[in-house]
Structure 1
């Protein structure tokens, strides 16, 4: 009887592996082939403008990139962009989640309107902000400034990185709001009411009940947003093209410059490998942080 059961489990396991094999193989090819090609080209001389200059480059592409001030400027811009957007979306999303949890007239419509920007495509969002909101002559923000006696501001020249932060934060704030508002639904109202009866005010309830309850959801928001924010491209491409100079060039846009403007595939591939390493370091850190919060 034991042998029969063991045999049945073996046959069932083999059948399961056989059915899963095509999907797993396709997934591995989809991941490994681009990664392998990126690694290969990162060690090659491969410039489309100089086809005769080809061959094994060793680590020269990495040496050139790591000694290029543009790389460190791009990495600094990337960290600033990610850090400021995370701060705005997490803090703003938490406050808005608390607000929209309250009962007021038109709450359903307000929730839909607040979440809607997340479904706008990045290119469209960037165009709207560039031509309708931040335009120095015809923008809404310029009109508001002039209406209170302040001079109009050319956002993408005077505050280029700040402008990108505002656009990206406007897109990702609804995502944080959606996750945190969903988490608010499971908050025990009896606990909140008991705190009120004990004399706790709104501020105390927020810091000692609401915020600890949202800790896991905030960790998830930070993890998901940071992974996507490391690859911000469309907003920069549409609005500033990485300028003025390198003021808004992040790591993703620097790779684009090297690959499709300078036609240096080898150096761009080396930049891609550096970006992969950076993303994995961030992912490991964030996964551990989320796992720790889930265990608490």
Structure 2
């Protein structure tokens, strides 16, 4: 882990159709993320928010089946440039969302600095749709596919290279809601997925041990993309696409503790906090707790 950390907010709500997730970065900051990390002796530079332009019409469908394509692509280009710039300085980028479409920009900026980037996708969903397979046209269900080079060229070619990630370097943890096209892609690419079935049977400790050792052997850095809807909505209600039967806060803490001990992370993002749907900022507070654990907070 690096001692210099750059916090980047992305108030993006255009990758889906429920308002409020654009306030996620503010909610996480309000819950004390900077103070939590400073207490762990990190030097924090909060770079504010990446600007997100609004479409002329409400939730415009552009280029066939992609909602708000132009605005999502522009914001992710800006995010990618900023992440790239901060990593060039040797700073650890911590990106706060916003909906999960922002991972397109995060991964574009991060992968430039790695020959073989690994990704832990901690999420109820695979986010492996494209315009051809998506039931909704919401780009927040597409960022992992885009990063693999699958999807609209305005998204796949951000920072002028594609793909950002190899499918064999991705580990999905917590999946329990996959569309048919996503299942086909996972099988076709032979991707590593630990669904709730595997987590229930094996336990989080074994899942994380396997994921960490698998990525350690074949990658030169790992990006964590954590969607708060990976957790059960009983514990994390402030998310736009809740799916019952999810991970517990305790299981997630264990996962973050093990990642902290592994020292393989080189970048991270926490996304999909929607304070409008939340209960007294509970989900943002939970995000800050997980961030604290991820960066070395311990009871003893």
Q: Which has the higher strand share?
A: 2
With normalisation by structure 2, the TM-score equals: 0.22
Q: Which has the higher helix share?
A: 1
Task: With a CA cutoff of 8 Å and minimum separation of 6, indicate the structure with the bigger relative contact order.
Answer: 1
For the pair shown, which has the larger CA radius of gyration, 1 or 2? Answer: 1
